Amino acid sequence: MRILVIEDEVKIAQFVKRGLKEEGYAVDIASDGEEGHFMLSSNEYDAIILDLMLPKIDGLTLCRTLRKEGNQTPIIMLTAKDTVKDKVKGLDSGADDYLPKPFAFEELLARVRVVLRKKDSRVQTQLKVDELCLDLLTHKVTRGGREIELTVKEYALLEYLMRNAGNIVTRTMISEHVWDINFDTFTNVIDVYINYLRNKIDSGFSDKMIHTVRGKGYLLKK
Ligand code: CA
């Protein structure tokens, strides 16, 4: 899952980015409303963390603009103000959730999970494909009851494949949802990570779950 953080305070932006990356999210930062708007028009994101007070275009205006343009990406609004009036304004502008600063990172993380879950319109804390199971809260992955140790990036890639189980995902889709804006399209890093995952998920099992679809991409299925 790839998240855009639109926040002009460098310390907060870096704090949020670091924390989310540790949880396996791909994260980009925009430091003002205009940059945020541009990045949203040129990349695909699964969620947006949007500060209210921003240079160039403020958070409320940007939120309204995005919704008017038909962008339905879940938005969590951050703000220094914690009054009912401001909260209502934020939600009325089209934000999905609202979090006053200062906040505990754990709370932001929980809210990110909630908006991503809503986007899925399925209430779930686990992804299951046949005997493969991924716990979104603990990040524990098992196949046939046996626990599989994954790195943060492998986990993120597997989560994306499992969310799209039964469908072909292209390298472009993977790069847009699992890697951040610094992804280099000329490397074979995705294939390398697919192989890492295969070694961990499929080795020792006669039924392979991760399939290569020649000329198209990858497919995870029973
Ligand atoms: Ca700000």
Tell me the two tokens of residue 46.
């699964």
Please give the distance, rounded to the nearest whole angstrom, from the Cα atom of residue 46 to the centre of ligand 1. 22
pLDDT tens for 137-194 read 889 999 998 999 999 999 999 999 999 999 999 999 999 899 988 888 778 899 999 9
Please give the distance, rounded to the nearest whole angstrom, from the Cα atom of residue 51 to the centre of ligand 1. 6
Tell me if 40 sits within 8 A of 48, measured CB to CB.
yes
pLDDT tens for 98-153 read 999 889 999 999 999 989 887 665 557 889 999 999 998 889 999 998 999 999 99
Share of residues in the chain with pLDDT > 90 (%): 72
Instruction: Tell me, yes or no, whether 102 and 206 share the same domain.
Output: no
Tell me the two tokens of residue 115.
């908006």
Instruction: Write the CATH number for 179.
Output: 1.10.10.10
Instruction: Tell me, yes or no, whether 147 and 210 share the same domain.
Output: yes
Please give the distance, rounded to the nearest whole angstrom, from the Cα atom of residue 109 to the centre of ligand 1. 19
For 8, the 3-state DSSP assignment is coil
Please give the distance, rounded to the nearest whole angstrom, from the Cα atom of residue 1 to the centre of ligand 1. 24
Tell me the two tokens of residue 34.
């205009």
For 84, the 3-state DSSP assignment is helix
Instruction: Tell me, yes or no, whether 50 and 83 share the same domain.
Output: yes
pLDDT tens for 50-78 read 999 999 999 999 999 999 999 999 999 99
Please give the distance, rounded to the nearest whole angstrom, from the Cα atom of residue 118 to the centre of ligand 1. 26
Domain boundary among 119, 135, 155: 119
Please give the distance, rounded to the nearest whole angstrom, from the Cα atom of residue 180 to the centre of ligand 1. 22
Please give the distance, rounded to the nearest whole angstrom, from the Cα atom of residue 124 to the centre of ligand 1. 33
- How many domains, the chain? 2
CA 25 from centroid of its chain's CA atoms = 5
Instruction: Tell me, yes or no, whether 79 and 136 share the same domain.
Output: no
This prediction's pTM: 0.78
Please give the distance, rounded to the nearest whole angstrom, from the Cα atom of residue 142 to the centre of ligand 1. 41
pLDDT at 120: 65
DSSP-assigned letters across all residues of 46-80: SEEEEESS-SSS-HHHHHHHHHHTT----EEEEES
Instruction: Write the CATH number for 69.
Output: 3.40.50.2300
Domain boundary among 73, 94, 119: 119
Instruction: Tell me, yes or no, whether 113 and 207 share the same domain.
Output: no
Instruction: Tell me, yes or no, whether 15 and 109 share the same domain.
Output: yes
Please give the distance, rounded to the nearest whole angstrom, from the Cα atom of residue 7 to the centre of ligand 1. 6
Q: How far apart are the C-alpha atoms of 133 and 119, rounded to whole Å? A: 21
Instruction: Tell me, yes or no, whether 93 and 131 share the same domain.
Output: no
Q: How confident is the model at residue 41 (pLDDT cuts 50, 70, 90)?
A: very high
pLDDT at 64: 95
Instruction: Tell me, yes or no, whether 9 and 114 share the same domain.
Output: yes
Instruction: Tell me, yes or no, whether 139 and 115 share the same domain.
Output: no
177 lies in which domain range? Answer: 126-220
Please give the distance, rounded to the nearest whole angstrom, from the Cα atom of residue 37 to the centre of ligand 1. 15
Instruction: Tell me, yes or no, whether 114 and 8 share the same domain.
Output: yes
Please give the distance, rounded to the nearest whole angstrom, from the Cα atom of residue 8 to the centre of ligand 1. 5
Domain boundary among 119, 138, 171: 119
Q: How far apart are the C-alpha atoms of 100 and 80, rounded to whole Å? A: 6
